[in-house]
Structure 1
Amino acid sequence: TTDTSICIYLAVCTFLKVEPQLHHIKMDDYGVWEIFLPNNADGSSAIPHGSRVKIRMDTPSGVKDSISAWIKFSVQAPGEIPFNGIYYDPPEEEKYVFQHPQPKRPESLRIYESHIGMSSPEPKINSYANFRDEVLPRIKRLGYNAVQIMAIQEHSYYASFGYHVTNFFAPSSRFGTPEDLKSLIDRAHELGLLVLMDIVHSHSSNNTLDGLNGFDGTDTHYFHGGPRGHHWMWDSRLFNYGSWEVLRFLLSNARWWLEEYKFDGFRFDGVTSMMYTHHGLQMTFTGNYGEYFGFATDVDAVVYLMLVNDLIHGLYPDAVSIGEDVSGMPTFCIPVPDGGVGFDYRLHMAVADKWIELLKQSDESWKMGDIVHTLTNRRWLEKCVTYAESHDQALVGDKTIAFWLMDKSIVKSLQ
């Protein structure tokens, strides 16, 4: 076991304490505090693997205990509501070792969207191990070449489907351990399946006890202050992409999942919300360039997207980068060196929404020209990912295509 070094970004704290003993902690010019804990005399780690860890800070709003923003694992103890940060450093013999190479990116993606917890036919929260053994082979048999996994980053509110992230570097402990997730990804690679992570960098949970909100006792540590830092519809916090430490945090996060877990790429959630201060809400995009390059555009967010795509493709040229955008932002899928945002694909949500819209109508009302326009409405040579349905249609306030087609007949057949 190597010595332990802990770095925490704290812009306004007057002291930081690691109990039960006090240790000397240094702060650099950028507000990053660092503590170095040498191993014990017997060579064991100063912090045992599996220990609960928190940071106690004297903040402008009083003394506060927080989970490190960079925590690699967190769990919810029985009978408790907030999650606890866990120091995760298993012995070498318990660490998972990848056995299979990552598949080459196919010319055409056939993506199976999935949620680990909801993947079991039984009324329970499924596990990484069961998904690996029971679900992945079925995905392969169905002819898919990629699996997109939701709800990987830890989230204390399970009903958010994983989109209100509290711990950005920690895989959700509801489904198992980090080693279990690595085993799942390695098995997918053995089957020739790419594994895409549904990554959330567009907003953060507003939890203060186990999330980033109010981390140092202020409203502006990782986020914009005031109304700009709060998403009125999602009830979540919005990152300040103009902050160097926020950029470092998010860029490191993307690299972490690619290197530590061997993900083959990302589907970036809520990119439209990131790129505009109105978040694309109550807004109809007509294609006028003033809608994309006006005062409502969050230039810092667009620059961040360029940076993260440049990082992804610079380190892993075969990695897949998909952005969920409903606005039709120009240059969205043009490489960064050519002046674009740098995504490989735009997630074409209008197509999936169109199928649900049509199923709510009688087929006599369908307009073929409207259907063709929806299917072909994209930038010249822009690659798009289109779904028959995704969680946004099947789970969030609507029904699956199967239910729209069968609906009452399902209930009648059960009587």
Structure 2
Amino acid sequence: MSVSQTPQKPGESERPSQPIKPMPDAPSLFSDFDLYLFGQGKDYRIYEKMGAHPRTVNGVTGVNFALWAPNARAVSIIGDFNQWDRKATPMQLRHGDLGVWECFVPGLEPGTLYKYAICSRFNNYHTDKSDPYGFQFELRPNTASVVADISQYQWRDQEWLEQRPQRQQLNSPMSIYEVHLGSWRHIPERHQEGAVEEDRFMTYRELAESLATHVKKLGFTHIELLPITEFPFDGSWGYQVTGFYAPTSRFGPPEDFKYFVDYMHEQGIGVILDWVPSHFPKDGHALSYFDGTHLYEYSDSRKGEHKGWGTYVFDYGRSEVRNFLIGSALFWLREYHIDGLRVDAVASMLYLDYMRPSGEWNPNHYGGREHLEAVDFLRQFNEAVYDQAPGAVTIAEESTAWPLVTRPTYVGGLGFTFKWNMGWMHDMLEYMHLDPIHRRYHHNNITFALMYAYSENFILPLSHDEVVHLKGSMSTKMPGDLWQRFANLRSLYGFMWGHPGKKLLFMGGEFGQWHEWNFKESLDWHLLDAPSDPHHAQLQDFVRDLNALYKQEPALTTRDYEGEGFSWIDCHDSDNSVISFMRRAHKDEETLIFVCNFTPVPRYGYRIGVPYPGVYNEVINSDDLRYGGSGVINNQYMPSVPRNWQSCPHSILLTLPPLSTIVLKWRPFAEHEMPQPELPTSETEN
């Protein structure tokens, strides 16, 4: 049984054989101003006219169809209502200068299957295309568009939307749980015939409750969805999109996805959507060679094709194509109340020579490798989101040193709110993969990111890309035996939550799944219930407590993107593979100290410098027994002494557990706690 019933295939219609004719005198949905804006690439509500829209004309109900196909000689609507007859329901070229075709078909209703039959002016080219602006599609492998009225859902998240600008400020906590809806969790279903068990996807409505419960329990503030924009091939994970205005039918109809977002907001969880304006697949039913010409893609393959991905590149220099894409972005933010868009593969857009050898790309008119039209598009996109969707964020997956990605366009930036810190991710995973005995020689891996941490507004990602294609799961990346693997993972997460930048963790990483992510299968939830191996549940508890600390301590968020919010205590103790640093808020008493020991050797009497006289207590320790650690903890308050150490006027002695991150918080001395003169000690002279 599928998640949703597959609509009838072409030729299987049970409708009357008499075709329904279009109404020739129906007025156009487009004003002259609409067309002017579309030609300029700035009609940001173009989706309200293009595509299929239920409508009433002179008291007659039906569906209005509109299509941009400037190089078509003839276009007609085909569908289950006219037995897919290419001659039965012709469209009219209403606006010849722009190539906009339109017709109103009486009697049609939501649920009608349709495509556009296009005859090109060139080479007698004929093709049947799904609707670029379609709001719903058939369940794959079928490819017809489905007439949908998405205006009926009653939202209940007004309070969330009003608070969203404050929730998503740079100084607000943002801890993101990255999710692939098709493999987060499956539901076993028993067929009536033969009682055969089979896995199936959860629906949007089923996912809403289950996923929100899990995310809320662990304390994440947001989820980020791998693309749910309609796509034909499961193995693309949604990154090869054919329906830029439609949630995939794999998990239910459009109104169910609205319910999913609405429910998340009711539970206090933001929803970020991966959005892919960087390329599109060559599937014949979709955008490629749309009207017998390279309409949506560049005609020159040196600019318009990603041969390594087998996809086409959008023509960012064409106003109508930019309008299509920016309209899609704003559509998700407006119509589905999405809280942010993470733009995939930005690096591939910025460079003309991306994944192209010499001779297979042309420089720009200045002789450089920068893709100037794509740069202009990204700036226009970010300006439109900032202006049209208050409080929404945009996130760049950008892996190069392109400057000013998260700076305003008026100072020459691209205008994104955040950027994934891919360099931090690669450096840290390379470091953690090493046997601890070798880490002393790679200390730079854990300190280098602070050299550029404030050049952009970074998100620290441990994403899906790092647990596929034989890279192993997060837990199998760690060296050592079972205990050491989980201790390493806890120490990494502790360091990550203390490091400047927002946080992102891909599903399964929160409990240390052993298997590499497989988009065809559910996560290994049974590991959380295994009494013989409690490490998975204990790791999940640690992630929960990290998120709680992150949200309650201003030092971790209020100055996240200010250099004054971070300072090293000691970043030079490579011999012991130990680092220590401070996170600061605006008040001294809110300061937190992080100390990380990336070796399995516990260190007793380890002295670190501290900024203020007073008492320091441990607020979290990844080596705590309840997290699966060895139980080496600092369970007593640690008073400071007025001894200069590591450029600090005071210092304390503490115990460093093996493979651990500990977090300390300061408070002033009470009168009876004033320190005594310090006695000689055998402390570690680091």
TM over 0.5: yes
- By how many angstroms is 1:397 displaced? 4.0
Length-normalised TM-score, structure 2:
0.54
Contact 1:223/1:238 (<8 A) preserved: yes
The aligned counterpart of 2:297 is: 223
The aligned counterpart of 1:296 is: 369
- By how many angstroms is 1:321 displaced? 0.8
- By how many angstroms is 1:278 displaced? 1.8
- By how many angstroms is 1:267 displaced? 0.4
- By how many angstroms is 1:281 displaced? 7.1
The aligned counterpart of 2:624 is: none
The aligned counterpart of 2:500 is: none
1:141 aligns with 2:217: yes
Contact 2:427/2:445 (<8 A) preserved: no
- By how many angstroms is 1:230 displaced? 1.2
| Aligned equivalent of 2:342, options 267, 275, 282 | 267
Give distance in 2, aligned partners of 1:280 and 1:314: 34
- Structure number with the higher strand fraction is 2
1:164 aligns with 2:240: yes
Give distance in 1, aligned partners of 2:208 and 2:470: 29
Give distance in 1, aligned partners of 2:271 and 2:250: 19
Q: SS at the partner of 2:290?
A: coil
The aligned counterpart of 2:136 is: 73
Give distance in 1, aligned partners of 2:453 and 2:70: 42
The aligned counterpart of 1:207 is: 283
The aligned counterpart of 2:155 is: 98
Give distance in 1, aligned partners of 2:288 and 2:357: 26
- 5+ residue gaps in structure 1? 41-45, 284-289
Give distance in 1, aligned partners of 2:451 and 2:316: 30
Q: SS at the partner of 1:305?
A: helix
- By how many angstroms is 1:365 displaced? 2.5
- Root-mean-square deviation (CA, aligned residues, Å) is 2.6
Give distance in 2, aligned partners of 1:50 and 1:406: 54
Deviations 1:115-145 (A, max 9, x none): 1111105543232112101011211121111
The aligned counterpart of 2:266 is: 190
What is the number of equivalent residue pairs in this alignment?
Answer: 390
Contact 2:186/2:202 (<8 A) preserved: no
Q: SS at the partner of 1:221?
A: coil
- 5+ residue gaps in structure 2? 1-53, 57-62, 83-87, 188-198, 483-513, 516-531, 534-686
The aligned counterpart of 1:43 is: none
- By how many angstroms is 1:404 displaced? 2.5
1:405 aligns with 2:478: yes
Alignment of 1:315-334 (within 5 A): 315-334=388-407
Give distance in 2, aligned partners of 1:407 and 1:89: 56
- By how many angstroms is 1:83 displaced? 1.7
Contact 2:322/2:377 (<8 A) preserved: yes
The aligned counterpart of 2:75 is: 16
% identical aligned pairs: 24
The aligned counterpart of 2:99 is: 32
The aligned counterpart of 1:287 is: none
Give distance in 1, aligned partners of 2:404 and 2:357: 23
CA change 1:377–1:82 in 2 (3 A) is farther
The aligned counterpart of 2:310 is: 235
Q: SS at the partner of 1:75?
A: coil
One-letter identity of the residue aligned with 2:459:
V
CA change 1:259–1:384 in 2 (3 A) is same
The aligned counterpart of 2:143 is: 83
Give distance in 1, aligned partners of 2:109 and 2:97: 30
Q: SS at the partner of 2:72?
A: coil
The aligned counterpart of 1:129 is: 205
- By how many angstroms is 1:396 displaced? 4.1
CA change 1:294–1:397 in 2 (3 A) is farther
CA change 1:188–1:406 in 2 (3 A) is farther
The aligned counterpart of 2:354 is: 279
- By how many angstroms is 1:353 displaced? 2.4
Give distance in 2, aligned partners of 1:28 and 1:296: 37
Deviations 1:305-363 (A, max 9, x none): 00010000101231111111111211211112333210011111222223332344322
CA change 1:67–1:131 in 2 (3 A) is same
One-letter identity of the residue aligned with 1:49:
P
1:2 aligns with 2:55: yes
| Aligned equivalent of 2:229, options 153, 156, 159 | 153
One-letter identity of the residue aligned with 2:303:
R
CA change 1:257–1:396 in 2 (3 A) is farther
- By how many angstroms is 1:47 displaced? 2.2
1:378 aligns with 2:452: yes
Give distance in 1, aligned partners of 2:469 and 2:321: 29
Q: SS at the partner of 1:321?
A: strand
| Aligned equivalent of 2:324, options 244, 249, 273 | 249
- By how many angstroms is 1:380 displaced? 4.1
- By how many angstroms is 1:5 displaced? 2.9
- By how many angstroms is 1:280 displaced? 6.2
One-letter identity of the residue aligned with 2:257:
L
Q: SS at the partner of 1:201?
A: coil
Give distance in 2, aligned partners of 1:336 and 1:86: 38
Length-normalised TM-score, structure 1:
0.87
CA change 1:98–1:308 in 2 (3 A) is same
Give distance in 1, aligned partners of 2:308 and 2:474: 26
